[in-house]
Structure 1
Amino acid sequence: MVKRCLVVDDSKFWRMILHDILKKKSDLDVHFAENAVEAINLAFQVKPDVVITDYNMPGLSGLLLCMYLRSIEGFENVGIAILTGSDDVISAFWASKSGADRFISKMLQRQQLEEEILKFVSEEKFVCRLKESFLKRDVYWILESKMKNEILNREILKLIDFVRDEGYVLRKLRDLFLNFSPFAAMHSLVLSPVEGRIFSFGKEVNFDELKEKLVCHLEKPIQPSQWSFYPLKPIKIEPLSDLFVYTVKYSQNEVGALAFEEPEEIFNLTSALNDAKESLGLLFNALNVVKELTVQSSTDGLTNLLNKKALLANLEEIHARSKKDGNTYAVAIFDIDDFKKINDTYGHIVGDEVLKSMANLLKEKLREKALVGRYGGEEFVAIFPQVDENNLVKIINELLDKVRSFKFPFVEKCTVSCGVALGKNKQSALETLQEADQFLYIAKRSGKNQARFSFL
């Protein structure tokens, strides 16, 4: 079976030497090119099974030629040898990443050089499997495709600098992919063991419905400890349209998904997503790493709620936003009644179980309504970013009823007292917290197992 060989060298002298060496193999069909651009065009025509190229050439080097050929489907199993001269210095890193099968020195003795080259071209494993659909594509198409791919990936990787602001990063991704196809809305799922986050841009939708549609596209979805949805409180829920969902992977693990509603040019969008799959995986993994580190530094180890430091940071942020937007926020402090007696009677292990049960109750009842954390000991704090006073009273009272009827582990009965204050007209977040604490004290002194409100 005749093998096809492509020789690339800008030196006529070396083309003649290589011609003399290769003509000794009668089953070899040899073609020559004087530079990398000519070689790429010729490679699509002759479909070589082996390529022998000089390293140092004007324009594109042999190393770049190798990288370009390796990136084309069908050239993966072509044998590529790079010839190096006395002045050529190749980084070991780039040599390993180039895709070259062998580096052969031109400084070898003629007999040894001949043996090395003939041995290389005789290896049976080298074969070109280029499809016919590629034959009309020239080097300029390749270079343009590569340039577009690099620009797209560079734009995505630039977003890694902003991974602390997930909303900003995903909004920028939405803007980027709009360049490839118009679509009605984009929804993003970022998935890690500590938290699953869903972001919607362009439409406010039902959280549970969107979550179900996104998760069902994953083969082995991670089960996160909790879920978050942005925007927190959709104003006007709209029905979901048909979704085109793209799964984002990092090291074969599913780390998220991008869902597009009503994309007009699915082929262009799919091509862009596939070109960017590695960069998207890196970006989503970075989002998850930062989230996990943030959770570790801001989470109470026993209850998995926000710790005191994180609570106060969020409270300061919400207070500042309230002064700017004119919205009213509220702070509620919950204290487990007679908790010391529980510890003394049943022991601290049971006391810890009561704290965890209370944390789960608060998290479940106040999900999507408030930020909940453990303030210290048996005290918990809930911050409501936006409130309606009448509805807030109802929520708190229903929560206290839930606690009264709940069967805590090993404990016959457990109740809580609560103090609630509004952030309206407060000079600082701390002032709101202190007022809530004052009304908690009133609730305790009034018999416990009740809530007291600063606005009633």
Structure 2
Amino acid sequence: MPRLIDSVARITGMRDRDALNVTIAEVLVDWLRPESVAIYKIVGEGDGRRVVLRARLVDGQAHIESDVARDPDSLPRLATMPYFRRCVKNVTQVRITPPAGSPVCTLFPIQNDSDVTGVLAVETRHALLPEQQRLVKGVLKIIRNLLAVLDYSEHDTLTGLMNRKTFDASFQKLLQAAPNIAAPPQPPQLPPTGQPERRSEHGEFARFAAVIDIDHFKSINDRFGHLYGDEVLLLLARLMRGSFRATDQLYRFGGEEFVVVLDWVRPDDAAMVFDRFRAKVEAFTFPQIGRVTISMGYTQIQSFDSPNHAIERADQALYYAKQNGRNQARSYELLISSGALSSKEDASDLELF
């Protein structure tokens, strides 16, 4: 019993999701003595869902994978992985029948309060006994309760996007996550797949932070009431989820201010992606209100950045967009190079509304 209590305490003491994934793997290794334990995250929505390896423990060695370090187009699609798809769709454990002499792999769904968010893969020499299966399911129930607490603290209660506190905590991890050039370990039924060559600061590819502000949002609240104002925020969050990739990070900082961290892209592609989203919002018909526009400012994230510095630069570009007609996406770096902005310009002196 003390050993079991210690295992529960180790899991519930985690607040960092990467550390939690490794702790889950370590606890299951302690109890099951498997060949390996792997934790996969399901990202995206609908038919576009993909599978990302987040943590793997083999022979007692833990390996943490980061989804922000992967090219999203290279991630395997859930639809192409029949065992994983069955586990997720039916919310049930699935045993993969191995070739003679190979480990038995058992898949378990990882759930939060509303959906299946991942898959736990346990490889053992022999099929798991009923009491071992109950142990794994018990651990996953604990994880489900813990994830509910983490989700509440990390996400905006209105839109469900991540909040400012989560952005600050995630930013340093993002800087530490170099692009993953080598092919990662693959799910049990998938053959290894390579990954396209990538350049970044590191070459052409980079990450970008964009600050989004709804134009004339105060007027929307004044004219139509806060209920419709909240509806605009909800619909904008939905448009964001449908416009950006599974590995891009979406935040609501408060009020009508949103933030996007765009994963590895070329600068020209970043400009296209942000302007395409701006146009998509402009073309959308918001119930009762009609046309709503947004202004955006974005900047390239540098390896030495802090969260505040990146947001400050994006804010300066946003404020420039606001003062120069709204309904546009502006690059801080392009504004600096053209002389339209000074790097020492104090954004607080600019008028938003």
Query: Fold-level match, TM-score > 0.5?
Result: yes
Q: In structure 2, how many angstroms separate the alpha carbons of the residues matched to 1:290 and 1:211?
A: 28
- Which residue in 2 is equivalent to 1:216? 86
- Which residue in 1 is equivalent to 2:11? 160
Q: What is the identity percentage for the equivalent residue pairs of Structure 1 and Structure 2? A: 24
Question: 2:170 aligned to 288, 293, 314, which one?
Answer: 314
Does the 8 Å contact 1:423/1:432 carry over to 2?
Answer: yes
- Which residue in 2 is equivalent to 1:18? none
Question: 2:208 aligned to 330, 333, 342, which one?
Answer: 330
- Which residue in 1 is equivalent to 2:128? 271
Question: Which amino acid letter does the alignment assign opposite residue 297 of structure 2?
Answer: G
- Which residue in 2 is equivalent to 1:345? 223
Task: Give the 3 Å change call, closer, same or farther, for CA 288–320 of structure 1 in structure 2.
Answer: same
1:418 aligns with 2:274: no
Question: Which amino acid letter does the alignment assign opposite residue 141 of structure 2?
Answer: N
Gaps of 5+ in 2: 44-48, 57-64, 66-73, 93-103, 179-199, 335-353
Gaps of 5+ in 1: 1-93, 95-149, 223-242
Question: Which amino acid letter does the alignment assign opposite residue 216 of structure 2?
Answer: D
Question: Which amino acid letter does the alignment assign opposite residue 375 of structure 1?
Answer: F
Aligned to 1:303, the other structure's residue is in SS state coil
Task: Give the 3 Å change call, closer, same or farther, for CA 363–190 of structure 1 in structure 2.
Answer: closer
Does the 8 Å contact 1:417/1:444 carry over to 2?
Answer: yes
Deviation at 1:300, TM superposition (A): 1.2
Deviation at 1:362, TM superposition (A): 1.0
- Which residue in 2 is equivalent to 1:105? none
Q: In structure 2, how many angstroms separate the alpha carbons of the residues matched to 1:337 and 1:258?
A: 44
Q: In structure 1, how many angstroms separate the alpha carbons of the residues matched to 2:76 and 2:134?
A: 30
Question: 1:429 aligned to 302, 307, 313, which one?
Answer: 307
Judge which range, 213-222 or 285-294, deviates more: 213-222
Aligned to 1:372, the other structure's residue is in SS state strand
Q: In structure 2, how many angstroms separate the alpha carbons of the residues matched to 1:189 and 1:331?
A: 23
Task: Give the 3 Å change call, closer, same or farther, for CA 290–367 of structure 1 in structure 2.
Answer: farther
Deviation at 1:339, TM superposition (A): 1.0
1:273-299 CA-partner distances (Å, limit 9, x unpaired): x44223212322222222211111121
Q: In structure 1, how many angstroms separate the alpha carbons of the residues matched to 2:134 and 2:32?
A: 19
Deviation at 1:331, TM superposition (A): 1.0
Does the 8 Å contact 2:79/2:85 carry over to 1?
Answer: no
1:235-280 CA-partner distances (Å, limit 9, x unpaired): xxxxxxxx95444699xxx9875447xx7xx7x43135x4422321
Q: In structure 2, how many angstroms separate the alpha carbons of the residues matched to 1:218 and 1:380?
A: 31
- Which residue in 2 is equivalent to 1:448? 326
1:90-149 CA-partner distances (Å, limit 9, x unpaired): xxxx9xxxxxxxxxxxxxxxxxxxxxxxxxxxxxxxxxxxxxxxxxxxxxxxxxxxxxxx
Deviation at 1:320, TM superposition (A): 5.6
- What RMSD over aligned residues (CA atoms) do the two structures have, in Å? 4.2
Pairs aligned (count): 271
Aligned to 1:400, the other structure's residue is in SS state helix
Does the 8 Å contact 1:246/1:258 carry over to 2?
Answer: yes
1:206-260 CA-partner distances (Å, limit 9, x unpaired): 13326764342468539xxxxxxxxxxxxxxxxxxxx95444699xxx9875447
- Which TM-score applies when normalising by structure 2? 0.62
- Which residue in 1 is equivalent to 2:61? none
Deviation at 1:197, TM superposition (A): 10
Q: In structure 2, how many angstroms separate the alpha carbons of the residues matched to 1:330 and 1:244?
A: 39
Deviation at 1:403, TM superposition (A): 0.8
1:170-193 CA-partner distances (Å, limit 9, x unpaired): 5547977996558xx9564699xx
Deviation at 1:419, TM superposition (A): 0.1
Does the 8 Å contact 2:209/2:298 carry over to 1?
Answer: yes
Task: Give the 3 Å change call, closer, same or farther, for CA 432–187 of structure 1 in structure 2.
Answer: closer
Does the 8 Å contact 1:343/1:351 carry over to 2?
Answer: yes
- Which residue in 1 is equivalent to 2:136? 280
Question: Which amino acid letter does the alignment assign opposite residue 84 of structure 2?
Answer: L
With CA pairs under 8 Å and 6+ residues apart, which has the higher RCO, 1 or 2?
2
1:439 aligns with 2:317: yes
Does the 8 Å contact 2:50/2:77 carry over to 1?
Answer: no
Q: In structure 2, how many angstroms separate the alpha carbons of the residues matched to 1:355 and 1:455?
A: 28
Does the 8 Å contact 2:39/2:120 carry over to 1?
Answer: yes
1:27-71 CA-partner distances (Å, limit 9, x unpaired): xxxxxxxxxxxxxxxxxxxxxxxxxxxxxxxxxxxxxxxxxxxxx
Q: In structure 2, how many angstroms separate the alpha carbons of the residues matched to 1:300 and 1:187?
A: 26
Higher Cα radius of gyration: 1
1:207 aligns with 2:77: yes
Task: Give the 3 Å change call, closer, same or farther, for CA 212–166 of structure 1 in structure 2.
Answer: farther
